[in-house]
Amino acid sequence: MLEVKNLNKYYQETETPALAGVSFSLPSQKIFSVFGSSGSGKTTLLKIIAGLVQPSSGEILLDGTGIKGPEDVLVAGHEEIKIVFQDFQLKHMMTVTENINYALLAYEEDYRKHRLNTLLEVCLLEEYKTQYVHQLSGGQKQRVAIARAIANEPRLLLMDEPFSNLDLKAKSSLRDIIKNIVDQTESSVIFVSHDPEEVMMLSDQILIIEAGKITQSGIPSSIYNFPNSISIAEMFSPILKFVISGETSYHRPESIKITKNDYFDLKGQVIGSDYLGKYQLLKVIVNDPIDQLIICPDYQNEYKINDLIKISLTNPLPTFIDE
């Protein structure tokens, strides 16, 4: 459905590019996420796909037709591609219904009423339909912005950091809405995020972006278990490095088990801890190699300073991540 081919973007000619050689293809009814740190090029990529920023080179095809950049058209943007920005761009002195109807002006009244009801339902807005936008919470405003964006059933919905600034309940509603959009229409969604849990929970495919390049893409479990590099591995959890008898291995916290038992690989002593509720992170000095400090999770909140423990390591990350 969407083909992105070898996109490059230089904001200044002499500077390093904001995007370099970005290519991917997105089928219908799929949710893709663009995941990377601040400044890695996520917003630039979204705006170029939306036709709002001119790429320096490269091509974007929607169902085989080229998307034109803002320098090539009179009005920037594309009918079939809608983007929801973080400031929502709503009419605050109008009601929810009025805001959504604004996007439905081209339709006849019967269809408009029907479509309005569908949008209120999909975006979990039925109980707020007569309220003014300025009376709504951030999460509710965002849902109105989404309803407007999908009013004309675009092929592609783009969302820039939709989960930031939402509380847990609003995040969960937003996940349901995004899944509904993709299940009930032919649309696909690309969202940008720097929250590892959101991209893991919602993405059919994650595109990892680092310094303007897509350095890995794949389904969540393949990226989590087979990251291409330490830097990608560290985007999803802390990575613990062990050097045991001269052999280096890298582990996610959940692959480390500690016990009071005597049969395991490593001996250590707890010298400190950070309590996190669900678990505590122990600072442990191990004796191979001598006096290595490691941090390991204790999911039962069982251990305390000075305890002697044994550590067993399961499921190391692939060694090729060690550059």
Contacts with ligand ADP by CB under 6 A lie at: 11, 18, 36, 38-44
The separation between CA 85 and the C-alpha centre of its own chain, rounded to angstroms, equals 15
Choose the one of ligand ADP, Mg ion, none that binds residue 221, judging by a C-beta under 5 to 8 angstroms depending on kind. Answer: none
**Quick check: 40 binds Mg ion (CB under 5 A)?**
no
Minimum distance between the CB of residue 190 and Mg ion, rounded to whole angstroms?
Answer: 13
Choose the one of Mg ion, ligand ADP, none that binds residue 66, judging by a C-beta under 5 to 8 angstroms depending on kind. Answer: none
CB closer to Mg ion, 42 vs 141: 42
Cβ atoms 138, 90 nearer than 8 A = no
Choose the one of Mg ion, ligand ADP, none that binds residue 36, judging by a C-beta under 5 to 8 angstroms depending on kind. Answer: ligand ADP
Show Cβ contacts of residue 80 under 8 Å, excluding neighbours closer than 6 positions. 62, 154, 155, 156
Choose the one of Mg ion, ligand ADP, none that binds residue 41, judging by a C-beta under 5 to 8 angstroms depending on kind. Answer: ligand ADP
Read off the tokens for 306. 């000075």
- Give the single-character DSSP code of 104: T
Query: For the CA atoms of 127, 130, 132, 135, what is the dihedral angle to 10 degrees?
Result: -30
**Quick check: 44 binds Mg ion (CB under 5 A)?**
no
Minimum distance between the CB of residue 8 and ligand ADP, rounded to whole angstroms?
Answer: 12
> Which amino acid would we find at residue 142?
Q
CB closer to ligand ADP, 23 vs 261: 23
CB closer to ligand ADP, 45 vs 119: 45
The neighbour count for residue 100, using CB atoms within 10 Å, is 25
Minimum distance between the CB of residue 287 and ligand ADP, rounded to whole angstroms?
Answer: 43
Concatenate the DSSP letters of all residues of 35-74 into one string.
E--TTSSHHHHHHHHTTSS--SEEEEEETTEEPPPGGGSS
CB closer to ligand ADP, 38 vs 221: 38
The binding site for Mg ion (CB under 5 A) comprises 42-43
